[in-house]
Amino acid sequence: MTAVDATPAVRHVDHHVDHHVDHLVVGAGFAGLCAAIKLQEDGERDFVVIEKGEEVGGTWRDNTYPGAACDVPSQLYSFSFAPNPEWTSSFSPQPEIQAYLRRVARESGTLDRFRFGTRVEDATWDDEAARWTVRTSAGTWSARTLVVGAGGLSEPKLPDIEGIETFAGHLFHSARWDHDVDLAGKRVAVIGTGASAIQIVPEVQRVADRLDVYQRTAPWVIPRNDRRYSRIERAALRHVPGVQKAYRTATYWGRETYVPAFTFEPAIAFPARKLAEANIARGIRDPELRAKVTPQFALGCKRVLISNAYYPALAADNVDLVTDRIARVTPTSVVTADGTEREVDVIIVATGFHTTELPITEHVVGRRGRTLADRWRESGMAAYKGTTVPEFPNLFLLVGPNTGLGHSSMVFMIESQVQYLRQALRTMRLNRYAAVEPREDVAAGWNDRLQQRMKRTVWQRGGCSSWYLDEHGRNTTLWPRTTFGFRAALRAFDTAAYAVRGEPAPPSSTPATPTTHQQTEDVPA
């Protein structure tokens, strides 16, 4: 371990502070809720979770569009410490996931630490006090550590289309669904063919008079092998010891078998590609339409989607798949580059989220006086082990850079990161560290090795451009190895990788818990 470097630092931040806490957690989705539960479990009492929404849930609270469901099997999409015996099917719909998160939050006994309807306006590292000063819409907080669990799928991304602001009908993003708009008998346009769109399209097709689907790039879509659990099966999951754990374990290892096709040799995915092609043939008879929906890149290069209903919906008489570029939007229509004008009553934007330029980073100011967004604009979005960043002491990112997955459950990754956070806090308390900050050389080495490994993945070799990649063509979103490799890398806090401030932190009544420290870890093999 080394002392914090001598780079000129931000001096004392002169803010009026309304509240002082040890730990401030931002976000109340899976990540923030997991952090709260585990902080309490470790005996931490002085923490608060702030959330801009009005309840827990994050993306599952916000995405209430028709057909919203998870594309990770239900048995894997829950906390390992809070299994859910109430799933009704092998792939859970949004209402069930949100109900699960509400229940876990309620039963955890942490809800009194949550402050809803509270948005972060800025967070600044106070180097003199070795604390974060966080200004919110409901007052200013001072915190020893700042845990950001805002998530990569939290801020909708709107398309840059000429005239879209002039549209006189109803226009909304899939993550901000307007339930007051009745789509029955309407002329509807859906812009986008990603994960949300393929769930929305079949639902809209059933009720709309006409539906235009605007496709920039065709996705690979494999069958959704969903099934409802029988009454006997659900009873066994609830009451027979070991059944749910066996389901979860089998599902987890089954999903890990996908990793080589994504990260080592794309040709291994040939059987899955044939399955996807068969899905097209089964859902669409028209050769011309089949050609439009058949991707021209390797399966896995973009997110692989799952649906049994998407292709039949595209083939329906009231649906038109439009592959010409949108030139502009008028008050009453969408106009494509070939000059065709299609009158519409409603436009549904399903164009994804800000994933490689997270909005919250514009408001987090580190030790050198620049924002996290400024740093990432200069060097690219990167974090040590996806969790900590040089220049930003005592900042922990949950679902940070290169922690996303193309095959398994993000809940597993979140739990791994929260374990690393817990070990860091125990280390700080045991050694009375006021601040820990990853060393520049260690963080750069981690990310250089990670990007080197990324070159062999389908995301770099698959022949597509995707939201996984930043403006420099670097994949800053996904983890290029197994999930158990990620967990191994974050099992213990590696103090040697950090610059530490040795002045004692303020005393606390919370007992210190000894922990084992390991040396800097490489990206696991």
Residue-wise pLDDT for 136-154, tens only, equals 999 999 999 999 998 765 5
Residue 14 has pLDDT above 90, yes or no: no
Single-letter amino acid code for the residue at 326: I
Residue 8 has pLDDT above 50, yes or no: no
Single-letter amino acid code for the residue at 245: K
The C-alpha atoms of residue 133 and residue 478 are separated, in whole angstroms, by 31
Bridge partners for 395 per DSSP = 146
- Polymer length of the chain: 525
Residue-wise pLDDT for 154-184, tens only, equals 567 788 899 999 999 999 999 999 999 999 9
Residue-wise pLDDT for 200-212, tens only, equals 999 999 999 999 9
Residue reference for tokens 């007051």: 180
Residue-wise pLDDT for 72-116, tens only, equals 999 999 999 999 999 999 999 999 999 999 999 999 999 999 999
Listed residue (55, 53, 44, 52) closest to 21, CA to CA? 44
Burial of 445 (0-12, 13-18, 19+ CB in 10 A): middle
Q: What is the pTM of this model?
A: 0.91
Helix (H) or strand (E) holding 188: strand 187-191
- Residue 491 has a pLDDT of 97
Residue-wise pLDDT for 15-69, tens only, equals 588 999 999 999 999 999 999 999 999 999 899 999 999 999 999 999 999 999 9
- Residue 7 has a pLDDT of 45
Q: Which residue has the higher pLDDT, 211 or 508?
A: 211
Structural tokens at position 322: 């439009």
Residue 511 has pLDDT above 70, yes or no: no
- Residue 521 has a pLDDT of 39
- Residue 154 has a pLDDT of 57
- Residue 517 has a pLDDT of 37
- Residue 502 has a pLDDT of 81
Poorest-confidence range of 20-24, 272-276, 505-509?
505-509
- Contact between 326 and 244 under an 8 Å Cβ cutoff? The reply is no
Listed residue (479, 467, 217, 446) closest to 356, CA to CA? 467
Mean pLDDT of 237-262: 94
Residue-wise pLDDT for 467-477, tens only, equals 788 877 889 99
Give the helix, strand, coil percentages of the chain, each rounded to 5.
35, 20, 45
Residue-wise pLDDT for 306-323, tens only, equals 999 999 999 999 999 999
Residue 379: which pLDDT band, with cuts at 50, 70 and 90?
confident
- Residue 5 has a pLDDT of 47
Residue reference for tokens 């608060």: 48
Residue 357: which pLDDT band, with cuts at 50, 70 and 90?
low
Structural tokens at position 120: 């972060």
**CB neighbours (10 Å) of residue 188?**
26
- Contact between 193 and 213 under an 8 Å Cβ cutoff? The reply is yes
Residue-averaged pLDDT of the chain: 90
Residue-wise pLDDT for 404-456, tens only, equals 998 999 999 999 999 999 999 999 999 999 999 999 999 999 999 999 999 99
Mean pLDDT of 383-395: 98
- Residue 17 has a pLDDT of 84
Structural tokens at position 29: 């989705």
Q: Which residues of 70-81 are buried (b: 16+ CB within 10 A; e: fewer)?
A: bbbbbbbbbbee
- Residue 503 has a pLDDT of 65
Structural tokens at position 449: 């090795």
Residue 287: which pLDDT band, with cuts at 50, 70 and 90?
very high
Residue 117 has pLDDT above 70, yes or no: yes
- Tell me how many degrees the CA angle 330-212-207 measures, rounded to the nearest 5: 115
The C-alpha atoms of residue 399 and residue 417 are separated, in whole angstroms, by 8
